[in-house]
């Protein structure tokens, strides 16, 4: 199995092939190399796995609208899709990035922290200024 085939088989995201190749090249892997050969390390496989999540979260929408097409009585509908497990996937990727000291983990942490609701502190006062 090649790196490219491994990347495609390991996710439900339907990225274009060039996206998977970019992930492989960014991690120093030839997409046509055998994924379980001496050319590809466990570290590279783990980081490419996390990079798929990173790409899906950072560079892709978390939900997509539905689309309907019809022609001469034939109708095709592609339903809406929403990622309900995005927070869990972010945590998974962050764990991998931290394991290998990769800076993308900090970016994902910042994004996940920014999504949280922040409450302002309540300060009691005796009078209105």
- Do the domain assignments include residue 80? no
Q: Is the pLDDT of residue 115 over 60?
A: no
From residue 102, how far is each of 51, 68, 71, 105 by CA, in Å? Answer: 11, 41, 49, 6
In a domain, 124, yes or no: no
Q: What is the pLDDT of residues 22-64, one digit of tens each?
A: 999 999 999 999 999 999 999 999 999 999 988 887 766 555 5
70 falls within a domain? no
Question: Which residues have a Cβ under 8 Å from the Cβ of 78 and sit 6 or more positions away?
Answer: 66, 67, 68
Asked if residue 32 is part of any domain, the answer here is yes
At 56 the pLDDT is 85
Which residues form the domain of 58? 3-63+85-115
Tens digits of residue pLDDT in 60-114: 655 555 567 777 777 776 655 566 677 788 899 999 999 999 999 988 888 776 5
Instruction: Please report whether residue 128 resides in a domain.
Output: no
Q: Is residue 100 part of a domain?
A: yes
Strand partners of residue 74: 71
Domain count, the chain: 1
Quick check: 108 and 54 in contact, CB under 8 A?
yes
42 domain residue, yes or no: yes
Q: Write down how long the chain is.
A: 129
């Amino acid at each position: 199995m090649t790196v490219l085939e491994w990347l495609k088989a390991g996710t439900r995201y339907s990225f274009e092939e060039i996206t998977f190749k970019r992930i492989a090249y960014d991690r120093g892997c030839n997409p046509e190399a055998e994924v379980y050969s001496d050319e590809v390390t466990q570290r590279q496989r783990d980081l490419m796995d996390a990079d798929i999540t990173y790409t899906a979260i950072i560079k892709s929408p978390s939900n997509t609208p539905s689309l309907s097409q019809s022609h001469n009585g034939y109708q095709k509908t592609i339903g809406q899709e929403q990622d309900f497990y995005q927070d869990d996937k972010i945590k998974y990727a962050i764990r991998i990035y931290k394991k290998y000291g990769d800076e993308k983990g900090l970016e994902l942490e910042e994004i996940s922290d920014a999504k949280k609701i922040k409450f302002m502190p309540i300060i009691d006062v005796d009078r209105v200024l």
